[in-house]
């Protein structure tokens, strides 16, 4: 499945002359015999009708054979073929019935394809310098599995806006799109999915690639996946993902740092996604704990961090730098205190309050309040003691508050502390 389309570009040439060289290179008289390439592709039941084209003819039947797709897909594909054959043979009065059978067969096949990962045709671009000092771009056509890591960048289930945008004539499709071997992630037990959201089995991941570029790249590749899924059902040419660049990394940490740097300017990157990338990019215990608890308890990253830093959170710039592996110079945190607070709130039946900022904000303020009795700040240990000694009635009272909850909880716990001092 190899096709070379050699584009020669001189080192110091201007844009106009560069365009001429590219155009000349695509001329059949100045390149290798296209028939040779076409035969090679046709031997694999694949055909590129025009080297300028961004589509490739690959039959679903061939993909079933090459990638050992499920028996159900194979069976439904056979049913569709038979329905089409009967439609061609049907007399005029039976056409409508035959058309309905074809439509039902297509629908069944489409629904089944949504349950499985499907391979995609890609065009890998590899630069090479010629003896004359010019640069040669070699284009390699192949069909591969591309997967995603939802915890890093969680794409929409079906992004109709992106599907419309990539088909706009003004949209530039040929920008670089970066992948790396998926087993780098699967070895860390990171959940990986196909671009249709279906979890991918580990056996398949040995030969799969994962998207590691920015949000725009990933949205485009996912949109092409949906287009090609539809094309397979309709027996139309598949869209090729052009200008694929394969990156290699020694560790998941290095890869996460790369992803963090190259998604730093993405406005669409969510806090939970930044936390996951930062935890791998820095390998720091605080960020690893924050992202894991945030996922487990389904609470915001910024709220989770407050439990372990006593109210402090990263600025947007600090988060962006952390995704590149660069931590703030001084991080004050205590994992034990954070675990203690969260565990106690769960024990008291205040699970809902854990994900709300008002309780941890009130707790942090309590540690700094100056007691009129002792003339000193209440401090962390005394604040923890107030939390540990909450009764069922006091918990019900806190749950019933509906005003300024930070102020009300702070006032309640402060008064509780003063009462405890008076009893001593």
The set of residues, in sequence order, having a beta carbon less than 8 Å from that of 101 and lying 6+ positions away, is: 83, 86, 87
**What phi and psi values does residue 144 have, to the nearest 5 degrees?**
-140, 165
**CA 224 – CA 238 distance, rounded (Å):** 9
Going from N- to C-terminal start, the domains of the chain cover 7-58+118-248, 70-113, 256-323, 335-423
Burial of 128 (0-12, 13-18, 19+ CB in 10 A): exposed
- CB of 230 within 8 A of CB of 113? no
* pLDDT per residue as tens digits for the range 64-111: 888 888 899 999 999 999 999 988 888 888 888 999 999 999 999 999
- In order, the DSSP letters of 238-267 are EEPEEEEEE---SSHHHHHHHHHHHTTT-T
- Tell if the pTM clears 0.85, that is, is over it: no
CB 170 within 8 Å of CB 32: no
Query: Quick one: CA dihedral 160, 161, 163, 169, positive or negative?
Result: positive
| Mean per-residue pLDDT of the chain | 83
The token duo for 154 is 């969680």
Q: Specify the range with the lowest mean pLDDT, choosing from 103-107, 127-131, 283-287, 339-343.
A: 127-131
The model's pLDDT over 361-419, given as tens digits with 9 standing for 90+, comes to 999 999 999 988 888 999 999 999 999 999 999 999 998 988 899 999 999 999 999 89
CB neighbour list of residue 227: distance below 8 Å, 6 or more residues apart:
163, 239
The span from the first CA to the last CA of the chain, in angstroms, equals: 83
Q: Where are the alpha helices (DSSP H) in 50-119?
A: 60-67, 71-89, 95-113
């Amino acid at each position: 499945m190899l096709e070379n389309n050699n584009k020669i570009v001189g080192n110091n040439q201007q844009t106009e002359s560069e365009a001429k060289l590219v155009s000349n290179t695509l001329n059949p008289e100045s390149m290798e015999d296209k028939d040779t390439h076409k035969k090679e592709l046709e031997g694999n039941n694949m055909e590129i009708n025009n080297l300028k084209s961004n589509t490739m003819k690959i039959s679903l039947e061939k993909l079933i054979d090459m990638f050992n797709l499920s028996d159900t897909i194979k069976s439904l594909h056979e049913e569709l073929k038979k329905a089409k054959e009967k439609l061609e043979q049907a007399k005029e009065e039976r056409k409508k019935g035959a058309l309905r059978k074809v439509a039902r067969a297509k629908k069944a096949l489409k629904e089944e394809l949504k349950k499985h990962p499907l391979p995609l045709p890609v065009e890998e671009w590899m630069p090479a310098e010629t003896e004359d000092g010019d640069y040669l771009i070699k284009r390699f056509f192949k069909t591969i599995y591309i997967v995603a890591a939802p915890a890093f960048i969680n794409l929409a289930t079906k992004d109709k806006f992106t599907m419309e945008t990539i088909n706009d004539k003004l949209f530039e499709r040929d920008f670089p799109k970066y992948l790396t071997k998926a087993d780098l992630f699967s070895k860390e037990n990171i959940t990986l999915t196909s671009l249709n959201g279906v979890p991918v089995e580990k056996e398949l991941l040995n030969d799969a690639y994962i998207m590691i570029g920015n949000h725009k790249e990933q949205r485009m590749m996912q949109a092409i996946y949906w287009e090609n899924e539809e094309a397979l059902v309709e027996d139309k040419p598949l869209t090729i993902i052009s200008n694929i660049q394969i990156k290699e990394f020694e560790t998941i940490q290095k890869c996460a740092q790369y992803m963090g740097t190259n998604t730093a300017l993405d406005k669409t990157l969510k806090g939970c996604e930044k936390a996951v990338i930062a935890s791998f990019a820095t390998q720091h215990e605080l960020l690893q704990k924050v992202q894991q608890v945030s996922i487990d308890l389904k609470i915001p990253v910024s709220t989770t961090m407050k439990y372990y830093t006593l109210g402090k959170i990263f600025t947007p710039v600090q988060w962006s730098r952390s995704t590149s592996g660069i931590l703030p110079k001084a991080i004050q945190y205590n994992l034990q205190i954070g675990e203690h607070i969260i565990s106690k709130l769960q024990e008291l039946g205040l699970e809902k309050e854990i994900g709300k900022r008002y309780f941890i904000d009130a707790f942090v303020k309590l540690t700094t309040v100056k007691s009129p009795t002792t003339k000193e700040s209440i401090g962390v240990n005394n604040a923890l003691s107030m939390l540990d000694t909450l009764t069922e009635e006091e918990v019900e009272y806190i749950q019933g508050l509906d005003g300024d909850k930070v102020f009300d909880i702070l006032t309640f716990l402060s008064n509780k502390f003063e009462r405890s001092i008076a009893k001593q």
